[in-house]
Structure 1
Amino acid sequence: MPATCSVVIPTFNAAHVIGHQLGALADQVDTPAFDVVVADNGSTDDLAGAVDQWTDRLDVRVVDASRGRGVSVARNVGIERAQTDRILICDADDVVAPTWVRAFADALDVHHLASGPAETVSLSGPSAGWVPIDQLSTGLYETWGGRTYGLGGNTAMRREVWERVGGYDEGFPAGAEEIDFAWRAWDLGYRFAYVPDALLHYRIRTDLRGVLRQQYNSGRGTATLYAKFRPPEVVPKSALRRAHHELLLLRRFPWRGSGDARRMWLTLMAFEAGKLTEARRLGCPAP
């Protein structure tokens, strides 16, 4: 039976975890026919061997997405190579719920763009408490001006959206590239629909260094987003207010708090550092 939707998985050196995601896709409930495109962004591990183990249960193939580095490149190549015009995007290190494909396939009958909830505890353990992300989301994420977006690794869209938006910006820092895509889609009149049954089990880095790097990149992406769009409702802090803000953050170090409280403080500081560093590089105020 021909595929009616395509699952795109941008991937880099994920041979050790992608089996969990492919297994979840193989176990989908009441699902329409779909194909899976693993977009390899230049992996040096045995990704092909890990994927080959699932070819008897999934219509899955690996495509070369190494023409540039980054998740946006891999997503764009994966979407280009997908067999259908209905695109479902997830990441190699996460795990989708059994109703994920069906929920998104049904949503795309009505909507052009959709996302669903994310749960962080089951794959992340204690590190789920280190970052300022809801451990179980209950709606779309919101940015400046009430603009909403979905996680890049839990997105469904019709191909025409991707084409009209111009794909994911391959020069955008990882960490907010999906917000950039959502803002450009918003300007064209596309709005995310929220699909409660499209649940994603999201993996936060389980080592502190990885979490800090992730938050630093998110800060860089936030600064880039402001520099690119300059939303009028955002008033950057003056140099004096910025210094006061950073001093307050430093004073909030939880000297008497738990180890998790200190790790949470460090992730906040990593986000601020990324934001300030990228704003300085771009020559614009930090939001």
Structure 2
Amino acid sequence: MAAAPVCSVVIPVYNGAATIGEQLAALADQTYTEPFEVVVADNGSTDDLGAVLDAWRDRLPLLRRVDASRARGVSVARNEGVRAAATDRILVCDADDVVDRDWVRALATALDDHAFVGAAHETESLSGRSAAWVPVDSPSTGLPVTWEGRPYALGGNCAFRREVFDDAGGYDEDFPPGAEEIDFAWRAFDAGHVAVYVPEAVLHYRIRTDLRGVLRQQYDSGRGTATVAARVRPAGLVPKSLARRVHHELLLVRRFPWRGSADDRRSWLVLMAFEAGKLVEARRLGVPAP
């Protein structure tokens, strides 16, 4: 009989059979010596996820799959996974990334002193050329910071005690994808839980390799950013007037890298997708875009 876990790794997944094996292999090779469970929160997969998980049960005896299919969305899956976890120490990663060997140990140890932590990341090893298309620091040197100097942890690379999840009210399931982690961290901050960076825990982050997928991801991130700004109305954020907004967008258009490389042009398109998402969502909400 397997020993009781001291922490829980939650993996939200939808049709992740093609990639989750790499993540499970990494979790089976951790330096952490204490028992930990792996909770796969299945958001309604229709692929061979079950067969892939079965192949790993010998190496991960505390691996289990929970039903998170009541509604579609990563926030739904995260919430169901956290609620099903057997411990009060929750580590969250995604099915298409790969954690480093010290990831569990570093985050679980950090939770001894901090209620909410975020890990480091790098993007090159799993993403190849597409790592240069998105404005994500690699390797990271700290947690990203949003308005009012508030740090936040990436949703698929963090850990927290259950009290943080409860005090924040979980992840907002109606929130547009792309900035739900900022919204979660903002509510946790208001409840007194400030995210702390753990550089010893490293995640190998996979950026989509198809340009259409990257553009959709960044468009959604722009939508989410506009929604966060409209909801929390951060101090110091002065929305641009229509004239300033038009001027800003025209400057971006003029920066198109005609003489740059193909990757430079892809990076420009990714930036414009983010800007478009902000504008569209702000207009839908009837508020100025941030």
Q: Fold match, TM over 0.5? A: yes
Q: What is the 5 A alignment of 1:1-287?
A: 1-58=3-60, 59-287=62-290
Q: What SS does the corresponding residue of 2:199 show, helix, strand or coil?
A: coil
Q: What SS does the corresponding residue of 2:148 show, helix, strand or coil?
A: helix
Q: What SS does the corresponding residue of 1:241 show, helix, strand or coil?
A: helix
Q: CA deviation at 1:30?
A: 3.2
Q: What SS does the corresponding residue of 2:259 show, helix, strand or coil?
A: coil
Q: Deviations over 1:89-113 (max 9, x none)?
A: 0000000000011101111111100
TM-score of the two chains, using structure 1 as the length reference = 0.99
Q: Which residue type is aligned with residue 67 of structure 1? A: R
Q: CA deviation at 1:137?
A: 0.4
Q: Which residue type is aligned with residue 192 of structure 1? A: A
Q: Which residue type is aligned with residue 142 of structure 1? A: V
Q: Which residue type is aligned with residue 233 of structure 1? A: G
Q: Deviations over 1:166-192 (max 9, x none)?
A: 100001111000000000011111111
Q: What SS does the corresponding residue of 1:140 show, helix, strand or coil?
A: coil
Q: Is contact 1:31–1:101 with CA below 8 Å preserved after alignment?
A: no
Query: May I ask how many residue pairs the two structures share in their alignment?
Result: 287
Q: Distance in 2 between matches of 1:162 and 1:30?
A: 24
Q: Distance in 2 between matches of 1:82 and 1:174?
A: 23
Q: Distance in 2 between matches of 1:211 and 1:70?
A: 18
Any gaps of 5 or more consecutive residues in structure 2?
none
What is the aligned-residue identity percentage? Answer: 69
Q: Is contact 1:99–1:197 with CA below 8 Å preserved after alignment?
A: yes
Q: Distance in 2 between matches of 1:193 and 1:269?
A: 31
Q: Distance in 1 between matches of 2:80 and 2:249?
A: 40
Any gaps of 5 or more consecutive residues in structure 1?
none
Q: Which residue type is aligned with residue 5 of structure 1? A: C
Range that drifts further, 26-35 or 148-157:
26-35
Q: Which residue type is aligned with residue 51 of structure 2? A: G
Q: Is contact 1:112–1:157 with CA below 8 Å preserved after alignment?
A: yes
Q: Distance in 2 between matches of 1:232 and 1:179?
A: 16
Q: CA deviation at 1:194?
A: 1.2
Q: CA deviation at 1:262?
A: 0.1
Q: CA deviation at 1:31?
A: 3.0
Q: What SS does the corresponding residue of 2:160 show, helix, strand or coil?
A: strand
Q: Distance in 1 between matches of 2:277 and 2:49?
A: 31
Q: Which residue type is aligned with residue 56 of structure 1? A: D
Q: Distance in 1 between matches of 2:279 and 2:55?
A: 44
Q: CA deviation at 1:144?
A: 0.7
